[in-house]
């Protein structure tokens, strides 16, 4: 009974310009790590949370615990029995717009499923991880959970019923994410979007761009892909919440980025590039503009993570 399973689940960038609540992609890093081992008593015990002082170790309040419990409840009788002890290592910032709660939820769900012989499908694991997300955000949005679990670039066609469509990832595509050390209240950022009403012209703009973005991924046409990174619906509302956003975006594009927008609720800003060298130049340009706006930042650049959540050695 002393087997311990360790799972890494990656951060994710979401919305990706035109795709509010329906597009997300997995990053190679950062991400969260969950370790689990079986215990005789039923249910989930969170032994320790490292890397984030503010997170609860109450398994009904911690998203990794909620997701882990959801997996336990769905285990087929033949594999079920007992519960789990869980260690959560937060290795990425909270409320960054990079799917922090999704990474913890996914890591918790995948770790418990693996520990019990992997009886649940990936689709069932998405449902379990979403229970964690709902506990964190109060609303269901799968555009971080699905890419963190599955890897790649993922589309949520529908929420009722949930239908996830993996999209092709061009091999040259590079993603840049810069996380400025500024706070954006996720709930407030979502309320801003939910309370607003939109014109048909705004919707048409995003419809044309998201449709062409998907075609560009299937063709591997990165120039077309870049032209599609536009958001007439949400970016105008959230840009004022990110210090220096307009300058950061202009700098990214001037440095060769294919496109640039806000990841999730922000404050992280993502950009795409078609080569590692361009991605590095884009990182430098974006971080310099954030510094001029008075904020330090962390940056990540690299290919899209096409593996998703995975078991790692201790």
Residues with a catalytic annotation lie at 133, 186
Record the tokens describing residue 209, joined without a space: 């761009």
Burial class (CB in 10 A: 0-12, 13-18, 19+), 218: exposed
> Among residues 94 and 212, whose Cβ is nearest to its own copies?
212
DSSP string, 40-79: SSSSEEEEEEES-TT----TTTSHHHHHHHHHHHHS-TTT
Query: Least distance from C-beta 222 to its own copies, angstroms?
Result: 14
Q: Which of 52, 94, 122, 205 binds its own copies (CB under 8 A)?
A: 205
Per CB under 8 A, the segment of 55-63, 64-72, 115-123, 209-217 that binds its own copies is 209-217
Distance (Å, rounded) from C-alpha 291 to C-alpha 308? 32
Could you say which of 197, 223, 313, 314 contacts its own copies (CB under 8 A)? Answer: 197
Number of residues in contact with its own copies under rule CB under 8 A? 41
Which range, of 40-48, 81-89, 208-216, 257-265, touches its own copies by CB under 8 A? Answer: 208-216
Query: Of 208 and 302, which has the nearer Cβ to its own copies?
Result: 208
Residue 1 or 194 having the CB closest to its own copies: 194
Task: Rank residues 211 and 312 by Cβ distance to its own copies and give the closer one.
Answer: 211
Stretch that binds its own copies, among 17-25, 122-130, 251-259, 266-274 (CB under 8 A): 17-25
Interface residue with its own copies among 224, 239, 293, 306 (CB under 8 A) is 224
- Which of residues 23 and 92 has its CB atom nearest to its own copies in the complex? 23
Instruction: Extract the tokens encoding 245.
Output: 């956003």
Q: Which stretch binds its own copies (CB under 8 A): 48-56, 58-66, 223-231, 304-312?
A: 223-231
Indicate the burial class of 223 (C-beta count within 10 angstroms; 0-12, 13-18, 19 or more): exposed
Angle at 87 between CA 82 and CA 88, to 5 degrees: 130
Please state the closest distance from residue 130 (CB atom) to its own copies, in A: 16
Crossing angle of helices 122-137 and 186-195, rounded to 10° = 90
Q: Which of 310, 264, 314 is nearest to 107 (CA)?
A: 310
The site map against its own copies for 115-154 (x = CB under 8 A) is ----------------------------------------
Distance CA 125, CA 113 (A): 8
> Which burial class, exposed, middle or buried, applies to 200 when counting CB atoms under 10 A from its CB (0-12, 13-18, 19+)?
exposed
β-sheet bridge partners, residue 178: 269, 299
Residue 232 has which token pair? 């007439």
- Does position 314 interact with its own copies (CB under 8 A)? The reply is no
283 sits in which H/E element? helix 276-292
> Measured between alpha carbons, how far is 59 from 68 in angstroms, rounded to an integer?
9
Window contacting its own copies (CB under 8 A); options: 220-228, 262-270, 277-285, 294-302: 220-228
**Contact, 120 vs 113, CB < 8 A?**
yes
Among 41, 118, 187, 207, binds its own copies (CB under 8 A): 207
Residues 154-193 within binding reach of its own copies (CB under 8 A)? 155-159, 163, 165, 167, 193
- If binding is defined by CB under 8 A, does position 250 make contact with its own copies? no
> Do 25 and 263 touch, CB atoms closer than 8 A?
no
Residue from 79, 121, 215, 277 touching its own copies (CB under 8 A): that is 215
The contact set with its own copies (CB under 8 A) reads 18-23, 155-159, 163, 165, 167, 193-194, 196-200, 202-215, 218, 224, 227-228, 233-234
């Amino acid at each position: 009974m002393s087997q311990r399973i360790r799972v890494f689940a990656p951060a994710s960038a979401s919305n990706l310009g035109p795709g509010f609540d329906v597009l997300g992609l997995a990053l190679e890093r950062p991400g969260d790590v969950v370790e689990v081992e079986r215990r005789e008593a039923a249910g989930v015990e969170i032994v320790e949370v490292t890397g984030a002082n503010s997170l609860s170790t109450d398994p009904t309040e911690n998203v990794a615990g909620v997701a882990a419990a959801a997996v336990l409840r769905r285990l087929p009788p033949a594999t079920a029995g007992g519960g789990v002890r869980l260690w959560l290592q937060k290795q990425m910032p909270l409320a960054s717009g990079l799917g922090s709660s999704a990474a913890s939820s996914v890591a918790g769900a995948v770790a418990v499923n693996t520990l019990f012989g992997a009886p649940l499908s990936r689709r069932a694991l998405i449902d379990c991880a979403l229970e964690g997300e709902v506990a964190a955000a109060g609303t269901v949005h799968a555009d971080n959970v699905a890419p963190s679990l599955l890897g790649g670039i993922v589309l949520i066609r529908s929420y009722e019923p949930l239908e996830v469509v993996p999209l092709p990832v061009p091999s040259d595509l590079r993603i840049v994410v810069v996380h400025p050390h500024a706070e954006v209240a996720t709930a407030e950022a979502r309320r801003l979007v939910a309370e607003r009403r939109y014109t048909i012209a705004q919707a048409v703009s995003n419809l044309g761009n998201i449709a062409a973005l998907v075609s560009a991924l299937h063709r591997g046409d990165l120039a077309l892909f870049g032209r599609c990174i536009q958001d007439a619906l949400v970016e105008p509302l959230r840009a004022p919440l990110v210090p220096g956003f307009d300058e950061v975006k202009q700098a990214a594009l001037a440095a060769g980025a294919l496109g640039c927008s806000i990841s999730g609720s922000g404050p992280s800003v993502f950009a795409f590039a078609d080569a590692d060298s361009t991605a590095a130049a884009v990182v430098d340009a974006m971080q310099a503009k954030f510094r001029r706006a008075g904020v330090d930042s962390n940056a990540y650049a690299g290919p899209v993570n096409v593996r998703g959540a995975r078991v790692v050695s201790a």
